[in-house]
Chain A
Amino acid sequence: MTRRTVAGLALVVVVLGIWEVWVQASGTPVYLVPAPSDIASVLGEDASELVPAALVTLGEAVAGLALGGAIGLAMAVIVTFWGQLEQGVMSLALLIKSTPIIAVAPILTIWMGFGHGPKVIVTALLTFFPVLINSVEGFRSVDPAVTDWFRSIDVPSRQYFTHARWPSARPFLFAALKVAAPLAMIGAVVAEWMGASSGLGRLMWLAYTNLDMPSLFGAVFALTLLSAAVYRLVVAAERRTVHWA
């Protein structure tokens, strides 16, 4: 373990310690703020419920991220190849991005039911925008000297895209994924709040309506851990594929 990891873990332990002592000393009731020890025991007891729910949410988030990422990337490619469409595509993207998810999610649930569909769509709506913006920037980030070299041998734009634009955009894509991946988890959970038959969002909603704070906090902790793991995964993938940046 590196010193940095140890320091990070130590900080978490200190924060949890202060929280525990504060709750115990002030006598705060568990239905308002549960102590970390209460949450830990719930995490242990409810593991059989939490793990499948977390997997459902993770699946929806990954599917939504894949869909949103693909749409964002496709729009960026269109804008790059056909510059005259940029204003139209970006206006449309901004319109979709500005629509409040909290209003869209219930409508999707009414239309599509309690299944995974609405969650995947909500997640895609949340994640396509950072991918689109970063991809467009990335495709344009080719070093002008590199562009000159490609132009000097009259390379067709498709090959220029493959050999210059796409690799140049990869660091930007990973920057987008680092924002979009945790966002995808939130998107899936928010959509589940609006009506779901499974998932962490549903567990949270059930706990909330029963004023079961330890379970609610337990589900939030599970979501946080999952988001952190997904983020780490993206960082690891970035290190492997963008070795030059």
Chain B
Amino acid sequence: MSRPIDIRGVSKDFGAVQALDGIDLRVAAGSFTAVVGASGSGKSTLLRLIGGLAGPTTGVISVGERTPDQVRAAKEIGWMAQQPALLPWRSVHDNVALAQSLNPQPDRQVLDVDVLLEMVGMGEFGASHPAALSGGMQQRVALARTLAIGAPLWLMDEPFSALDELTREALADDLLSIWQRFRTTVVWVTHHIPEAVKLADNVVLLTPRPGRVADIVEVDLPRPRDERSLAFQDLVGRARAILRVADASPLGAAG
């Protein structure tokens, strides 16, 4: 069951470096939220805080009524990063199956591994090992693994950014149709504004060093979205302009 995410006054320091400062954000249950910012804006850090992989220096994050650590312990996070992070000694099938065997969730309905692989277009490659696959295929397997435990919260850190443009578009389309089926809460980190506008309900724009919420652009276009449409281009232009101003402002440029 999808849950909302509440982020209140969250800051994160790494020694003398302030990565995030005073983040206030609410992500609606079952929504698709993209977090966009330049390198060093702390967007990946924000995702790690939501996932409980790191703790905030100040502020509070809650997912539903629980802390990120509790959500993690309940195996409710589907984590996907820029690197596929597959286990090279396991076959494609066994990589996905491992997620399920490590996380037996009797009260949660999970899909069969073969069904999952079919869903991400990797049905024929169950017996292959990751080294035999292209980067795009490996990310498809990583996506199947993310879906494998039926987690209601997907945290995705630029999962397609290392791929070529065509593969990236195809994967984004597939991801979107899969998400529309499950309606999980998604937080998607990217530095690619058109991708964010194409996928998300809301695009959160972060200032660079330290990351603050510069603005949130609501995308109320029906899916699938036409990237050439005026409305789409207008939203991309708006987001870009906000980021430019944030980048140039004394606050954004500081540090």
Give the B-binding residues of A (Cβ under 8 A): 143, 145-146, 148-149, 151-155, 159, 163-164, 167, 170, 243-245
- Residue interface bits B58-91, CB-to-A below 8 A is 1, else 0: 0000000000000011010111011111011100
* Highest count of chain A CB atoms <10 Å: which of B75, B89, B129, B155: B89
Taken together as a complex, chains A and B put the C-alpha atoms of A155 and B155 apart, in Å, by: 17
Point out the residues of chain B lying under 8 angstroms from A154, CB to CB.
72-73, 75
Taken together as a complex, chains A and B put the C-alpha atoms of A245 and B89 apart, in Å, by: 9
- Known contacts A152-B51, A152-B53, A153-B103; is-contact A146 B72 (Cβ 8 Å): no
Pair A151/B72 contact, Cβ less than 8 Å:
yes
Interface size on B, residues (CB 8 A): 27
Q: Chain A contact residues: over half helix, strand or loop, or mixed?
A: helix
Point out the residues of chain B lying under 8 angstroms from A167, CB to CB.
87, 89
Q: In whole Å, how far is B207's beta carbon from the nearest beta carbon of chain A?
A: 25
- Residue interface bits B93-108, CB-to-A below 8 A is 1, else 0: 0000011001100000
Taken together as a complex, chains A and B put the C-alpha atoms of A16 and B40 apart, in Å, by: 64
Point out the residues of chain B lying under 8 angstroms from A164, CB to CB.
87
- Known contacts A153-B102, A154-B72; is-contact A244 B88 (Cβ 8 Å): yes
* Highest count of chain B CB atoms <10 Å: which of A146, A149, A159, A167: A149
Point out the residues of chain B lying under 8 angstroms from A148, CB to CB.
48, 53, 79, 81, 85
Q: Is B231 an interface residue (CB 8 A)?
A: no
Query: What are 28 A-B pairs with beta-carbon distances under 8 A?
Result: A143-B85, A145-B81, A145-B82, A145-B83, A145-B85, A146-B85, A148-B48, A148-B79, A148-B81, A148-B85, A149-B81, A149-B85, A151-B53, A151-B72, A152-B51, A152-B72, A152-B155, A153-B75, A153-B77, A153-B79, A153-B102, A153-B103, A154-B75, A159-B102, A164-B87, A167-B87, A244-B130, A245-B88
Pair A152/B83 contact, Cβ less than 8 Å:
no
Taken together as a complex, chains A and B put the C-alpha atoms of A151 and B84 apart, in Å, by: 15
Pair B89/A244 contact, Cβ less than 8 Å:
yes
Pair A244/B129 contact, Cβ less than 8 Å:
yes
Pair A244/B131 contact, Cβ less than 8 Å:
yes
Point out the residues of chain A lying under 8 angstroms from B73, CB to CB.
154
Taken together as a complex, chains A and B put the C-alpha atoms of A43 and B73 apart, in Å, by: 66
Point out the residues of chain B lying under 8 angstroms from A243, CB to CB.
89, 129
Pair A153/B87 contact, Cβ less than 8 Å:
no
Q: In whole Å, how far is B99's beta carbon from the nearest beta carbon of chain A?
A: 7
- Residue interface bits B192-231, CB-to-A below 8 A is 1, else 0: 0000000000000000000000000000000000000000
